[in-house]
Amino acid sequence: MNLKRNMLNNLAQPRGHQPSRFAPALGALIIKERLRTSDEETVEQIRENPYWQYFLGFDEYTDTAPFEASMFVHFRKRLSLSMVGRVNERMVQRARLQSTPTSELNQSQDPQAGPLERDEVKARSGTEMG
């Protein structure tokens, strides 16, 4: 199952509004941990800072709070440590691929590479791997 879809399913509630994006929830938790602020202060920081809003994936700056501070409780309940770990692994894989020159990617046609790695190599090099 797609990692993003799996995470959205875990964020979904039985009734009411269904989540449309996972990034703001995870991003808000990252900001909170990075700044070491309370739930309320984190929401205020996000509201005031266009850079944080951009980090969360907002299309434009808004001076209104993106969500209530109480949503952090919901985020923490729904985002398991294993989910965050999988996101982290994918981010590291993508960063490594982006920092690897294309010539090295073409030479490293590892048959043991996972589907994500093969897809990333194909996307970067424009070639098919066997």
pLDDT in tens, 119-130: 555 555 554 444
* Distant-in-sequence, close-in-space partners of 33: CB < 8 Å, separation ≥ 6: none
Number of independent structural domains in the chain:
2
Residue range of the domain that includes 35: 1-79
Are residue 58 and residue 16 in the same domain, yes or no? yes
Q: Quick one: how many helices (H) and strands (E) in the chain? A: 8, 0
Are residue 65 and residue 103 in the same domain, yes or no? no
Q: Is residue 129 part of a domain?
A: no
Between vectors from CA 19 to CA 87 and to CA 114, what angle results, nearest 5°?
Answer: 25
Are residue 60 and residue 10 in the same domain, yes or no? yes
The predicted-structure confidence for 58-110, as pLDDT tens digits, reads as follows 999 999 999 999 999 988 888 877 887 888 788 888 888 888 776 555 555 55
Are residue 16 and residue 5 in the same domain, yes or no? yes
Structure pTM?
0.54
How does DSSP classify residue 22? S
Are residue 91 and residue 60 in the same domain, yes or no? no
Are residue 3 and residue 50 in the same domain, yes or no? yes
- Spatial distance between the Cα atoms of 120 and 6, rounded to a whole number of angstroms: 21
Between vectors from CA 16 to CA 14 and to CA 22, what angle results, nearest 5°?
Answer: 80
Are residue 21 and residue 33 in the same domain, yes or no? yes
Are residue 27 and residue 64 in the same domain, yes or no? yes
